Amino acid sequence: MFPRPLTPLAAPNGAEPLGRALRRAPLGRARAGLGGPPLLLPSMLMFAVIVASSGLLFVIERGILAEMKPLPLHPPGREGAAWRGTAPKPGGLSLSAGDSDLQVRQDVRNRTLRTVCRQPGMPRDPWDLPVGQRRTLLRHILVSDRYRFLYCYVPKVACSNWKRVLKVLAGVLDSVDVRLKMDHRSDLVFLADLRPEEIRYRLQHYFKFLFVRDPLERLLSAYRNKFGEIREYQQRYGAEIVRRYRAGAGPSPAGDDVTFPEFLRYLVDEDPERMNEHWMPVYHLCQPCAVHYDFVGSYERLEADANQVLEWVRAPPHVRFPARQAWYRPASPESLHYHLCSAPRALLQDVLPKYILDFSLFAYPLPNITKEACQQ
């Protein structure tokens, strides 16, 4: 029904393997002051991503969504799939019947991940990663031993609510609706807290998932929250951004009036592997080639995907994903469109390569910032 999976694309003669090249040099423009020509995403990776993602077009053109089989929750032959002492139903746990949109998105993401992650030099295991990348990964994967799952949290993708859920499942909180300031470290277990053999066991046997969001919408959300509301970020990052990119800023700016284009310029000059977690690419936070996730949920359908995960891990019926607070106003497509169209196009072209793997691996379209689109 689907095109046959692509075979791995070999590097040209004399070329450096793809994964090594990506780890060796940050994407986008060189850091300020270092000089040198722009560093671009290797064309071989872009080709692999485009071809792998073409499976979605194939499905749509043939009109065969109704014929798709539900995707299995676990890979074939996986051990330790029995959670809380009970075995899954015959055929394994699966997506809800008839949810074609979710099935297509998961298939495209899985197909693209497989194709890109098979390239020479790409990590197959967390211990294939350099020490710094592995440390970042393990510090972002939360553990529930009681319900046998691992969750890679991504800031600005409802991670605070997921941490509330984990605390309720662990018996630390009575309800996800308890009105307490979230402590993002206490009463939580991270893979980084465990010994290597304990980490390996959980990576092999536990259900693993993460949630993703449109990369630029996530950046806008981080910009609005951290530079518009959080004094610590204004002082630590905002003041430096203003000093670096605003003419005549003076030696001690407040950092509370960073513009979106200034924030983008800062991102262009930052190494993705050393970014703050709130704007670090998801690829570097969760390493989807080194960790084989069973499910990738979407912020765009957060409640449905989250409750599906809770059903899969057999959480108690009274544990549900928290509803969005009435006061919360997420970054809207209209707000994102306004900010992107107000930024210099050349600046956006420099920023996008930093997040190209997040766009491609998780099936998000690149923004339309043509003059025609921005005049609408």
- d(CA 250, CA 256) in angstroms, rounded, equals 14
Query: Quick one: pLDDT at residue 157?
Result: 96
Tell me whether residue 250 is in a domain. yes
Band (220; pLDDT cuts 50, 70, 90) = very high
User: 56: which 2 tokens?
Assistant: 């979605």
**Separation between Cα atoms, residue 21 and residue 41, nearest integer Å:** 10
More confident residue, 204 or 8: 204
d(CA 238, CA 106): 37
Range of lowest pLDDT (23-27, 83-87, 103-107): 83-87
365 found inside a domain: yes
Q: Does some domain include residue 55?
A: no
**Residue 329 included in any domain:** yes
Average pLDDT across the chain, whole number: 78
Give the model's confidence band at 265: pLDDT under 50 very low, under 70 low, under 90 confident, else very high. Answer: very high
- The per-residue pLDDT for 107 is 84
DSSP assigned state of 72: B
Closest CA to 299 of 133, 92, 108, 161: 161
Q: 50 lies in a domain?
A: no
Cα 85 from Cα 258, distance rounded (Å): 53
Identify the DSSP state of 237: I
Average the pLDDT over 359-363 and give the result.
90
**AA identity, residue 266:** Y
Q: Give the count of beta carbons closer than 10 Å to the beta carbon of residue 210.
A: 25
- pLDDT value at 28 more than 70: no
Q: Alpha helices of 42-187 — where are they, by DSSP H? A: 43-62, 100-117, 131-138, 159-169
Q: Which residues pair with 149 in a beta bridge?
A: 144, 207
Residue type, 63: G
Whether the per-residue pLDDT at 151 is higher than 60: the answer is yes
Q: What local confidence, expressed as pLDDT, does residue 176 receive? A: 83
Residue 308 tokens read as 């599906």
Which structure tokens are listed for 367? 């923004």
Q: What pLDDT score does 58 carry? A: 36
SS3 of 323, please? coil
Model confidence pLDDT, tens digit, residues 237-259: 999 999 999 998 888 899 999 99
Q: Which of 208, 211, 205, 201 is nearest to 292 (CA)?
A: 208
Residue 354 backbone zone (phi > 0: left; psi -120 to 50: alpha; other: beta)? alpha
Q: What angle do CA 287, 292, 293 make, to 5 degrees?
A: 90
Q: How many domains does the structure of the chain reveal? A: 1
Residue 114 pLDDT exceeds 50: yes
Average pLDDT of the segment spanning 166-183: 83
Q: Which domain holds residue 223?
A: 99-374
- Give backbone dihedrals phi and psi of 89, rounded to 5 degrees, phi first: -65, 160
40-59 confidence digits (pLDDT tens): 344 445 444 444 444 433 33
**87: in domain:** no
Beta strands in the chain (DSSP E): 141-144, 149-152, 207-212, 295-298
| Token code pair at residue 322 | 């928290």
CB 358 within 8 A of CB 282: yes
29-38, 79-88, 158-167, 336-345: range with lowest mean pLDDT: 79-88
The full length of the chain comes to: 376
Q: Is residue 38 part of a domain?
A: no
Global pTM value = 0.76
pLDDT-derived band of residue 95, with 50, 70 and 90 as boundaries? Answer: low
Is pLDDT above 80 for 30? no
Instruction: Find how far residue 337's CA is from the centre of its chain.
Output: 21
Q: Maximum distance among all alpha carbons in the chain?
A: 68
5 within some domain: no
DSSP string for residues in 8-55? PPPPPTTPPPHHHHHHHS-SBSPPTTS--PPB---HHHHHHHHHHHHH
Q: Is the model's pLDDT at 9 over the cut of 50?
A: no
- Could you tell me the CA-to-CA distances from 292 to 127, 139, 320 in Å, in that order? 13, 17, 25
